[in-house]
């Protein structure tokens, strides 16, 4: 059977059969792959720490036709983000990123934007980056890459740029100014549009750029999370853990 290979980020693993693991991989070229790592739970197995969550690996595998699972024959560790996961908040955040990617990525279709987003945010976190800022950056770009990020700087009703508080449209497809809003359920903080614009134009950075201070990030993230929950039609369970534990 021919062996194939690709670069991938390990999203998560779970136990399978007596001594195996299944790894959910997000690959640069092929999107989501699910693979059996035979013997990965045996002591001193050949996979070592390459299957730790969020490891960047080169995976060697083969697949049988019409089988959903690939068989992983080997995995070379390229970059590890094991150290930063000693912090519980970071661990919960990274599982949240992994769940979002698993939710929206169809199998066997690469998504270069999403792959580069996850990798660059991981590298910034690995270098000691600001967690709330990088989480907001990830959420904004995740929505954008999935085509789910509406225009928040202009009112859906009167088409004027929104000055002052805006309100999220009930279907999550835009914003209303105070005068046009049909319901005033979720307020969009005034900094949200500027933050999204900044994120669109700039790669992630380790420190939070001015003027997006911690206080304004919380409000921006609340809106981004409402959009994520609305479009996924459920609250990601890792998001619930994140809120309960941080």
Of 6, 131, 180, 194, which one interacts with Zn ion (CB under 5 A)? 180
Pick 39 or 165: Cβ nearer Zn ion = 165
Of 177, 196, 220, 228, which one interacts with Zn ion (CB under 5 A)? 177
Here's the x/- map for Zn ion, 119-148, by CB under 5 A: it reads as ------------------------------
Distance CA 183, CA 19 (A): 54
Q: Looking at 50-58, 130-138, 145-153, 171-179, which segment touches Zn ion (CB under 5 A)?
A: 171-179
163 binds Zn ion (CB under 5 A): no
Of 36, 124, 140, 155, which one interacts with Zn ion (CB under 5 A)? 155
Closest distance to Zn ion from the beta carbon of 179 (Å): 5
Distance CA 224, CA 230 (A): 10
169 binds Zn ion (CB under 5 A): no
158 binds Zn ion (CB under 5 A): yes
181 binds Zn ion (CB under 5 A): no
Torsion of CA 163, 165, 170, 175, to 10 degrees: 20
Here the tokens at position 89 are 């908040």
178 binds Zn ion (CB under 5 A): no
Interface with Zn ion by CB under 5 A: which residues?
155, 157-158, 177, 180
């Amino acid at each position: 059977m021919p062996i194939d290979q690709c670069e991938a980020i390990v999203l998560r693993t779970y136990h399978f059969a007596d001594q195996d693991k299944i790894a959910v991989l997000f690959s640069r070229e092929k999107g989501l792959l699910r693979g059996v790592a035979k013997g990965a739970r045996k002591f001193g197995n050949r996979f070592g720490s390459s299957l730790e969550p969020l490891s960047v690996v080169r995976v060697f595998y083969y697949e049988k036709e019409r089988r959903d699972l690939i068989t992983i024959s080997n995995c070379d560790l390229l970059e590890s983000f094991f150290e930063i996961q000693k912090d519980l908040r970071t661990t919960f955040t990274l599982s949240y990123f992994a769940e979002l990617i698993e939710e929206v990525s169809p199998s066997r279709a690469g998504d270069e934007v999403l792959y580069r987003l996850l990798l660059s945010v991981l590298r910034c976190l690995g270098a000691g980056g600001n967690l709330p800022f990088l989480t907001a950056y990830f959420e904004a770009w995740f929505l954008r890459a999935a085509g789910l990020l509406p225009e928040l700087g202009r009112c859906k009703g009167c088409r004027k740029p929104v000055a002052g508080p805006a309100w999220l449209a009930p279907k999550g497809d835009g914003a209303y100014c105070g005068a046009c809003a049909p319901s005033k359920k979720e307020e969009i903080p005034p900094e949200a549009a500027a933050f999204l614009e900044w994120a669109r134009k700039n790669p992630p950075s380790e420190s939070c750029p001015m003027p997006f201070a911690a206080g304004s990030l919380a409000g921006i993230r609340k809106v981004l999370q409402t959009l994520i929950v609305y479009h996924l039609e459920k609250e990601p369970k890792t998001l619930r853990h994140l809120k309960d534990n941080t």
